[in-house]
Chains A and B, each alone.
Chain A
Amino acid sequence: MSVVTSGRYTFLNYNLVFFIFLQLGLHSVEGVWPLPQSITSSPERYPLNPQAFYFTYGSQSAAQEGCSVLDEAFKRYFSLIFPDYSSGYGFLRFSVDKPFTVQVSVGRNDCDSYPDEDSSEQYTLSVSAGQAYLKAETVWGALRGLETFSQLVYQEDFGSYYVNKTEIEDFPRFQFRGILLDTSRHYLPVQAILKTLDAMAFSKFNVFHWHIVDDPSFPYQSRTFPDLSAKGAFHPMTHIYTQLDVRRVISYARMRGIRVLPEFDSPGHTQSWGKGQSDLLTPCYSGSSPSGTFGPVNPILPSTYKFMATLFKEVSSVFPDSYIHLGGDEVNFSCWKSNPDVQAFMLKMGFGADFTKLEAYYMENIVNITAALNRTSIVWQDVFDYHERIPKDTVLHIWKGVPASYEAELRAITKAGYRVLLAAPWYINHISYGQDWRNYYTVQPLNFSGTEEQKKLVIGGEVCMWGEYVDATNLTPRLWPRASAAAERLWSDEKQTSDVDKAFPRLKDFRCELLRRGIQAEPLFVGHCKHEYQGV
């Protein structure tokens, strides 16, 4: 076996020198991850004393005390900024520092709303003596600014906290910056999802794409069709998401400015649905008799669409986001082909032997159902590849291929005038030896030939963590900090962040910050953090 191609170890002396250099505690404001659009700072710095540190609302702010999103965020960020203070350690000292106030002003009182596709996340942050001004159009922008502020604060060896004089203007490059978790191939306890939402906020991700059901299991407990999880989950009591669990995830995400995008993938990837809903899946035939196995959703029965309409009505009432992901990928036609009723339907519809037409027929019906519910559909690229008769406001989701092929797909989809989301280069469940975060970092989402208008149709990107080999035991170290590499690509200016070697020390510091915040992020390479992960 030639597992070992290079040497067992090759000494990289400069790395050790480098660690020692870092240990001197040189702090730079480039520590903010992802890098803000514009940042200037000076060596002038101000001490922060947790006993004299305040968040306040600006007098002109549209949101004032009582704004749930910001009130909660102030509490959260206080503990993140002063981790020692909340653990009750190290602050019995006499120095009487001047108070420091972070004054937050927002232009709109959207405290009780949900973040959505057009929510502004722009903010400005100005840190000077005794005062920081954080201004944003929306509370979601204010959340991003609070995250940035928390990353500007650093702690010296003797425990004191400082922040440098800084001016920041910031906004995301892409409006959709998502992470997909797959809770069908393995069940992820709600705690694991909540922890992921925490870490997402630290990297300014704003969409949790919940691939909630698939072939292996159906853990979503439906109000209207309780049998789906009672019979389709790995276990009907312990391996399900109750309505309460789902609400908890949505509200936890909202507090962090994160949208929850549910995916109910069909007509393929639905084996688990069939267990709790008879006649939904296509019976496969072996010769002239049913073989006892089932294929994709049966597209020829009116009952199918009635069921889907009812299910999606429920989904749209449970999930507030304006998008619903409908899947539509990897449909295996062999079962449809084997079924005589499906064959008869093909004939009747004039589809000939082209089963992609049958799939198109099905997807059109489903997209119309969600459109009637005022929801924008997202579908995997397969749907575009098979046919183009889909409503113009549908978003296509690219998941296949190497750069050359996904760039061609970007070109084709945007040329056809559809909005598009890129996931192909960020299939983070595909692990390999070494620093693969560099591959995620150097992706160029707009590197395809097309007009300015076409480029504007790329609404963002998504990191996918498919679940074949992932559950709560390894999710967090597999996701972080590798996903953070994609986060910077999606948030920051590409020209300012094109050098992967410059990103390395910043991401390394950020990974240590994640550890400090209790996120079990794995190492990028040899090295150490001041506060190592202890939770083994």
Chain B
Amino acid sequence: MRQMYLVDDVPFSIPAASEVADLSGVINKLLEANHDGHKHVEFDFLVRGQFLRTKLANHMETENISTEEVVEIEYVEKFTAPQPEECIMHDDWISSVEADSEWILTGSYDKTARIWSMEGKAVMTVAGHTDVVKDVAWVKRDGLSSLLLTTSLDQTIMLWEWNSERNEVKARHCCRGHAGSVDTVAVDPSRTKFCSGSWDKMLKIWSAVPTVEEDEMEEHNRPRKKQKTEQMGLTRTPLMTISGHNEAVSSVLWMDAEELCSASWDHTIRLWDAETGGQKSTLTGNKVFNCISYSPLCRRLASGSTDRHVRLWDPRSKDGSLVLLSLTSHNGWVTAVRWSPSHEHQLVSGSLDNVVKLWDTRSCKAPLYDLAAHEDKVLCVDWTENGLILSGGADNKLYTYRYSTCVSDAGA
């Protein structure tokens, strides 16, 4: 709570027809009375944890709040709209994006992954896959050299080492074992392992530590493959294979160091023990899951599926009500969701209807902001720790937005 926005705790009687702008005016008047140098600030209002979007009377009626009693209305500084920063053109569709504090890594349908600076300057092109790159991930950074992962439709995952000073990239390992396109990859919190999910219904856990020795291949009767491995890094085999899904795995993530979560086309999200490979629990939906995201701040899973809804799940819940909330505003499949790394209520979702939406879970009826810059399907979104929202899609463009979340929650 910021002291500067504090007002006295006195109940006010407010006209029922007042809207957000009216309430904001009331608070500003009060603040002007208290502080001399007050500048006008737009506020947003929360009535019992729900954002006020309509007239106060309508809101209270839909939320079943009596107008007779004193209602606490919280107010927060209005979230400013994300400011568009860069539009980075690619040669082909962007299938995936992951950014860390300095660099943006994108995977594209032109069989390459690219590294960009935050200013949108092309730094490096990582080429080596023989087919479409489906997912990318940063593993870790050691000074100037970084490790990164790319997965592809050619059934391999490549572990690359990139030196940012000399600006050269080297394929360290080629992870073979999947029998389908590798659609998703996730690096564990300790940055030593990663898990991949594939169209062949399997999850495989691999070591993310580069070595100089080649893993023993189980099958030696593949001379053509052998040649390729000599070209592109050392062959690596999985540490563990987890099977259980009945359909293609679409998304995988680490909940913590021991727990894995995977979403699949068989309408389930499954939680796995990463040590033993055993299945812990299953969340069953009724549509194909495209993507999931987990927020350690609010301990919720967000899922996007082949319908219009973003659903929030409680992965720990034991009772039947698994879906906590449905966020409905998209008009197409939700292809990407990502929780804010710093704010426990906010998430961003991308959809086939060309729109990226910024959500606050306290306003489940309508999103905070629609980012309608894309001209074609949105395929991936990301949200970095330092407040950058990225979205890429089938219009070959990667948009970045600067979004400053005001963490401050003002008083009642």
Q: Do A and B bind each other?
A: no
Q: Which residues of B contact A (CB under 8 A)?
A: none
CB within 8 Å of B: which residues of A?
none
